Chain A
Amino acid sequence: MRESGPARVAIVDYGMGNLFSIKHACAFAGLQAVITAAGEEIVAADAVILPGMGAFGDAMQILRDLDLVEVLRDVAQSGKPLLGVCLGMQLLMAESFEFGRHQGLGIIEGDVVSLQEGMDGARRLKVPQVGWNRVWRTGQAAGEGAASPAWRDTLLDSLSDGEFMYFVHSFYPRPADPGVTLSLTRYGPVEFTSSLARGNVFACQFHPERSGPQGLRIYRNLAARITAAAVGRAPGPTS
């Protein structure tokens, strides 16, 4: 690893989603981000962001065509921070039921299902969900306003329970292990995992780079995490 200079983040460019807002959010947090589809550049980065918008099946096909499926699985194994955003979160899962049945990256056990199917007649809401919604540590009953101790040392560190984040999605991930769920969000009758963490892998259904100052805290926390991970991997007397 390099001794100095800003930490380098690879934003995986598979042609979907606004990568530029993620790049600008990284710059705000002091991270040097490169938008790339090159496997060697992704592997060499200090952290990797998997963004995305659009259809799950199309996205997986593009990742396969670009030979990035194994690259991303390797990143997940490497201990380097891996952040999935929106469709990028869903792609981490084992499979999706968006327009058929599709294999995902399988980094997190679980599947991706439709918001529409969860809507019952009386409380039917617009799908996609577009706009600001709250992220809760353990559902609506959790204490509002105070910084949640359960999020300490996660990428949600210093955020308040019930914070607003910006969502755009028609599907949501259902991790098999509820223990990976970092936040829950309620949309009509559906309560879903709006962010998750397992080791070095973090993912959110919302767009932190479009969620104002609170969202930017997630990028700042990512920057701090990258530094910590790099120190942890460095060979030396403490490792």
Chain B
Amino acid sequence: MTVRIIPRLDIKGPNLVKGIHLEGLRVLGRPEWFARYYYEQGADELVYMDVVASLYQRNSLLDIIARTSREIFIPLTVGGGLRTIEDIRTVLRAGADKVSLNTAAIRRPELIREASRRFGSSTILVSIEAIRKPDGRYEAYTDNGRERTGVDAMEWAVRAAELGAGELMVTSIDREGTGKGFDLELTRTIAGSVSIPVIACGGAGTVDHVTRVVKEGKADAVCLASILHYRAVRLHDFAAEIRGEGNVEYLKARRGFSKIQDTTLPDVKKYLTEQGIACRMPTGEVCHA
């Protein structure tokens, strides 16, 4: 079995954005361009996360999903603000293969059971966004890290799996966007307590961080964002294409972000393979540990 490397694209309106701790969003470009680029580079799946869906209408997201699914033939997961069975059906009909639930599932856990029964477990991811507390416990947050829930993240992971989630996407909000590395304890504890796959999310600053979250964190798949986006941004002049409002100062300057050693998907997979972790190599090549 291979470890999946999954670019995560946070979307605000028509734009790809990236923040730190899920805040302070910078506009990076058009998500469709990044999706196509990552597909050609050998991405194993893609995640689209509508980071402000709870607050705004989402028609532009549905357009982005529809355009992407016509030209990208790998699994596409869509999350952000999905509240009902009908919301899920809408994004699946637009072309998503899976959906990710967080806020609505914590408010009403039965949604996981209903959705997995209706669309199949493998279609339903539960996203757990956690912050480590001073006592060492992890608390689940909702609304992209804005709202605390009082729910213990570890207990919630087990419950979500029992309710029929097909996979768990586990994000450390503490590490998200910082480049300081994944929260290995968070990932390892959850991966050890459920039988479904766990996708680690938040914190990659070097390729070695990716290796560690697989080997020590026991992740079945890894989401990458800044570490790939910042390199991609340097390859393409996006500033002229940006529509809508947002912080584009970063994009105009096209500077890197010092904590993050940006890289490419083939280089990540090459490094993992050298470390004895089996990956699917980009189109046309085969490589194994």
Which residues of A come within 8 Å of B, CB atoms?
16-18, 20-21, 24-25, 27-28, 53-55, 125-133, 144-145, 160, 162-164, 166, 168-169, 187-188, 207, 209-216
Q: Which residues of A contact B280 (CB under 8 A)?
A: 132, 164
Which of B4, B97, B166, B195 neighbours the largest number of chain A CB atoms within 10 Å of its CB?
B97
What would be 22 A-B contacts, judged by CB atoms less than 8 Å apart?
A16-B120, A18-B92, A18-B96, A18-B123, A54-B120, A126-B195, A126-B197, A128-B122, A130-B122, A130-B167, A131-B3, A131-B221, A132-B4, A132-B280, A133-B1, A162-B286, A164-B286, A166-B44, A188-B1, A212-B74, A213-B73, A215-B73
Shortest beta-carbon distance, A1 to chain B, in Å? 28
Q: Which residues of A contact B123 (CB under 8 A)?
A: 18, 53
Which residues of B come within 8 Å of A, CB atoms?
1-4, 39, 44, 69-70, 73-75, 92-97, 119-123, 166-167, 195-197, 220-221, 280, 283, 286
Q: Whole-angstrom distance between the alpha carbons of A212 and B75 in the complex?
A: 9
Q: Whole-angstrom distance between the alpha carbons of A77 and B274 in the complex?
A: 50
Q: Which residues of B contact A24 (CB under 8 A)?
A: 69-70, 73, 95
B121 engages A128 (CB within 8 Å): yes
Q: With A53-B123, A126-B197, A164-B280 given, name 17 new contacts (CB 8 A).
A: A16-B120, A18-B123, A20-B95, A24-B95, A53-B120, A54-B120, A127-B195, A128-B121, A128-B122, A128-B166, A131-B197, A132-B2, A132-B4, A144-B286, A166-B75, A207-B75, A210-B73
Q: Whole-angstrom distance between the alpha carbons of A169 and B121 in the complex?
A: 10
A187 engages B2 (CB within 8 Å): no
Number of A-B contacts (CB under 8 A): 98
The answer to whether A164 and B2 touch (CB under 8 A), given A18-B92, A131-B220, is: yes
The answer to whether A125 and B1 touch (CB under 8 A), given A131-B197, A214-B283, is: yes
Q: Whole-angstrom distance between the alpha carbons of A129 and B92 in the complex?
A: 21
Shortest beta-carbon distance, B215 to chain A, in Å? 16
**When A and B form their complex, which 10 residue pairs have the shortest distance between CB atoms, in order from nearest?**
A53-B120, A54-B120, A132-B280, A168-B122, A164-B280, A131-B4, A130-B197, A132-B2, A210-B75, A20-B95
Shortest beta-carbon distance, A161 to chain B, in Å? 10
Q: Which residues of B contact A160 (CB under 8 A)?
A: 286
Q: Whole-angstrom distance between the alpha carbons of A212 and B72 in the complex?
A: 8
Q: Which residues of A contact B96 (CB under 8 A)?
A: 18
Shortest beta-carbon distance, B261 to chain A, in Å? 26
| Of the residues A18, A145, A162, contact of B97 by C-beta under 8 Å | A18
The residue in chain B whose Cβ has the minimal distance to the Cβ of A59 is B120
The residue in chain A whose Cβ has the minimal distance to the Cβ of B43 is A212
Which of A126, A169, A188, A216 neighbours the largest number of chain B CB atoms within 10 Å of its CB?
A126
Q: Which residues of B contact A163 (CB under 8 A)?
A: 286
Q: Which residues of A contact B119 (CB under 8 A)?
A: 16, 53-54
Which of A54, A128, A212, A216 neighbours the largest number of chain B CB atoms within 10 Å of its CB?
A212
The residue in chain B whose Cβ has the minimal distance to the Cβ of A55 is B120
B92 engages A130 (CB within 8 Å): no
Which of B1, B121, B221 neighbours the largest number of chain A CB atoms within 10 Å of its CB?
B1
Q: Which residues of A contact B93 (CB under 8 A)?
A: 20
B166 engages A126 (CB within 8 Å): no
The residue in chain B whose Cβ has the minimal distance to the Cβ of A52 is B120
A27 engages B70 (CB within 8 Å): yes
The residue in chain A whose Cβ has the minimal distance to the Cβ of B66 is A20
B74 engages A133 (CB within 8 Å): no
Q: Which residues of B contact A207 (CB under 8 A)?
A: 75
Shortest beta-carbon distance, A67 to chain B, in Å? 22
A21 engages B221 (CB within 8 Å): no
The answer to whether A211 and B73 touch (CB under 8 A), given A21-B95, A130-B166, is: yes
A129 engages B1 (CB within 8 Å): yes
Shortest beta-carbon distance, B260 to chain A, in Å? 26
